[in-house]
Amino acid sequence: MNKPWIFTLLRRSLAAWPCLLTLCKSESALNLFMWSPHWQCFVWNQNDCKGEVEKALETFFPAFDIDFAALVELADSNYTTPDGWSSNQSHCGHDLVNLVFNTNKWRMATSPGSYIAGCMVPNDRPFIVQLFESNSGGEPVIVAGAHFPHPDSSTLHSEDSLEYKATANTGPLRDAIAYIKDSSGVNKVIVIADTNAWTWVPTSTIMEMLQIPSGTWVSTSLERSCCFDADFPPEYAFDRIMANFGGSMHTTMLYEDGLPVWANQTKGQSRGAFHKPIVGRLYERPSAAPTNPNPLNVFLLVSTTVLATLLVSLIVAWLCCARCRGSHSDRRDMPTSDPESD
């Protein structure tokens, strides 16, 4: 009989499917978010800027399926995150940082040495460093949200990193990250911050200053996210999302084509320093560019589909025939209860 042969072939072609299906599977990414709407939006609150920012966050978090976000100078003590997200806040003087996380995917680790909040300069420039555990069995990750102080800008156009290195005051954040890294043994670190770093300060320099263990450093691209009061000059690439793991980061700056009217906070000669939000998608693979399907894979996928369909039809037909023949012979072998034979 040819039954075992056909089943072996069918089993083999079915076994190839999971492998082929991974070609179509969408790739997992961590979705990260940085935004400093700046205090004028909340204190001056012209055009209901406060309400509009909070409404925008209500949209952005689910729309980008945000895992972690740092919100800087969200100066509303009554702010609550949308359902599905939670936030921890740190403040130094009037300055605020909220570290937001997706509660469906992550939880704050509670063991000692999992959390430090502090100030990068006395009574100003807050940061939070928190160890997060995955709700789905993934690896834990350390996330820092921070508002760096302004480095000395007296040599603003020297276009090297020396002044930044000397004056950016990253020590307290560096020590907090080191402490949580050492007490947890976790090496994966994400930093989401208004770094106040000009375009000529590469993100790798900031990672070195923070002494974040190197693996692959990835970062959002240097965007003109700051600020309304400075007319978003090309060198103000302040808002950055960086990590020491993953293969690539894809950057989206929101409001790229122009600011909404409510973001304009103007009082005489003074203007609010509203920043544009940055979304970073951290991918495992090196290039986040969509890959073109490999013709060989497409051929394999199509041919196994055709082959599998053919085989299934063959087997169904074969089973039907066997059954038909079986029932015919059954009838023949059955003791006849022909009334005429009685």
Ligand X SMILES: *[C@@H]1O[C@H](CO)[C@@H](O)[C@H](O)[C@H]1NC(C)=O
Select 200 or 232, whichever has its Cβ closest to ligand X: 232
Cα–chain center distance at 90 = 22
Instruction: Pick the stretch among 73-81, 146-154, 158-166, 180-188 that binds ligand X (CB under 6 A).
Output: 73-81
For residue 161, the tally of other CB atoms under 10 A from its CB is 20
Q: Report DSSP state, residue 194.
A: E
Determine, following the binding rule CB under 6 A, whether residue 58 of this chain makes contact with ligand X. no
Among 117, 136, 114, 113, which Cα is nearest to 126's? Answer: 117
154 is an interface residue for ligand X by CB under 6 A: no
How many residues in the shown chain lie near ligand X by CB under 6 A? 9
Which of these segments, 75-83, 155-163, 273-281, 303-311, binds ligand X (CB under 6 A)?
75-83
**CA–CA separation, 284 and 297 (whole Å):** 21
The C-alpha atoms of residue 268 and residue 265 are separated, in whole angstroms, by 10
Nearest C-alpha neighbor of 176 from the set 119, 129, 214: 129
Least separation, in Å, of the C-beta of 19 and ligand X? Answer: 43
Nearest distance from C-beta of residue 290 to ligand X, angstroms = 36
Name the residue nearer to ligand X (CB basis): 113 or 215.
Answer: 113
Minimum CB separation of residue 134 from ligand X in Å reads 17
Residue 115 binds ligand X (CB under 6 A)? yes
How many CA atoms within 13 Å lie on the side-chain side of 262? 14
Q: Which of residues 248-287 bind ligand X (CB under 6 A)?
A: 264, 266
The least distance separating ligand X from the CB of residue 143, rounded to whole angstroms, comes to 12
Does 307 help bind ligand X (rule: CB under 6 A)? no
Assess 88 for contact with ligand X (CB under 6 A).
yes
CA dihedral 172, 177, 180, 181 (to 10 degrees): -140
Does the protein bind ligand X through residue 80 (CB under 6 A)? no
